[in-house]
């Protein structure tokens, strides 16, 4: 199975991102805030591009409000919608997933639930709970603290990346995930992580701004990417002007990202 990849970019590079992104990753709070962003997704919809709509937890610290989420789901009708989750809180995330499981969305909008946990045991319980609720696609975030417990590497970013891989691998070994399941990987702490999933057929899609943020920091990937996650955050660079972006670095990093991971 070909893994679908999307790299989030600043507003000024939205059109250019269609060249290297397999799908468009939509943040609903930006649909309310920025007309350029909003028009980009209207046009993407007209062009029949695949759209995944997040709930903006990572950017806002909590999921966007339900009324506006429903508005944009009805308006854009994304191919996938990531239902509201609560950071590192399994119980609250499972409650939300249960509530959203019964909410009627437009036809062909697939609901995706994000596993939140504070231990590998909770990750197993959360995964099973989502499957019991009928979710056909499950996502795993990149930044959970417990990944560093699973892989206590001196480089915390590398440890989180390997830790998530080890959690996914344990789910497969315990048969909670099978080749027929569908998994999305949210972000990454280290761009070399995804090469580890080559033979895991359940990995369907990933999103990460890592190569773009590295380029904005004027950094080019080495053969193994970068040793640390870029400090630049899309929240702080959405409005950067194209003249201030080193497009050559970004394009190099995006190509190198796929090369490193065999994607």
Q: Tell me whether residue 171 is exposed, middle or buried, using C-beta atoms within 10 angstroms of its C-beta: 0 to 12, 13 to 18, 19 or more.
A: buried
Task: Please state the domain count of the chain.
Answer: 1
Can you give the pLDDT at residue 236? 81
Using CA atoms, how far residue 252 sits from 101, 196, 242, 245, in Å, is: 41, 22, 16, 13
Domain hosting 151: range is 4-261
Three-state SS for 227-244 is: CCCCCCCHHHHCCCCHHH
Angle between helices 66-76 and 35-46 (to 10 degrees): 40
Collect all residues with Cβ–Cβ distance below 8 Å to 45 and sequence separation of at least 6: 51, 76, 77
Report how far residue 187's alpha carbon sits from residue 8's, in angstroms, rounded to the nearest whole number: 10
Can you give the pLDDT at residue 1? 57
The beta-strand segments (E) located in 159-215 are 182-186, 203-207
Query: Which CATH number fits the domain that encloses residue 25?
Result: 3.20.20.105
The pair of structure tokens assigned to 49 is 């591009």
All residue ranges of the chain with pLDDT < 70 are: 1
Tens of pLDDT, residue by residue over 74-126, are 999 999 999 999 999 999 999 999 999 999 999 999 999 999 999 999 999 99
- Sign of the torsion formed by the C-alpha atoms of 221, 23, 234 and 37: positive
Cβ atoms of 230 and 217 closer than 8 Å: yes
């Amino acid at each position: 199975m070909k893994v679908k990849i999307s790299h989030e970019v600043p507003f000024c590079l939205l059109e250019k991102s269609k060249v290297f992104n397999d799908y468009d990753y939509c943040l609903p709070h930006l649909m309310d805030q920025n007309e350029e962003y909003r028009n980009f997704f209207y046009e993407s919809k007209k062009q029949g591009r695949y759209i995944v709509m997040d709930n903006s937890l990572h950017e806002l610290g909590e999921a966007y409000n339900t009324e506006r989420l429903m508005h944009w789901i009805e308006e854009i009708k994304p191919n996938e919608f990531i239902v509201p989750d609560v950071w590192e809180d399994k119980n609250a995330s499972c409650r939300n997933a249960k509530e959203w499981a019964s909410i009627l969305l437009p036809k062909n909008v697939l609901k995706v639930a994000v596993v939140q946990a504070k231990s590998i045991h909770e990750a197993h319980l959360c995964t099973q709970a989502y499957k019991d609720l009928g979710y056909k696609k499950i996502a795993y975030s990149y930044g959970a603290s417990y990944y560093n417990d699973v892989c206590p590497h001196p480089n915390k970013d590398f440890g989180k990346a390997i830790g998530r891989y080890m959690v996914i691998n344990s789910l497969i070994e315990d048969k909670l995930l099978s080749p027929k399941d569908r998994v999305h990987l949210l972000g990454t702490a280290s761009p070399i992580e995804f090469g580890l999933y080559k033979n895991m057929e359940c990995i369907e899609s990933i999103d990460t701004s890592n190569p773009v943020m590295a380029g904005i920091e004027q950094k080019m990937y080495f053969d193994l990417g970068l040793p640390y996650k870029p400090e630049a955050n899309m929240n702080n660079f959405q409005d950067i002007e194209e003249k201030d972006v080193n497009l050559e670095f970004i394009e190099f990093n995006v190509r190198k990202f796929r090369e490193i991971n065999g994607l």
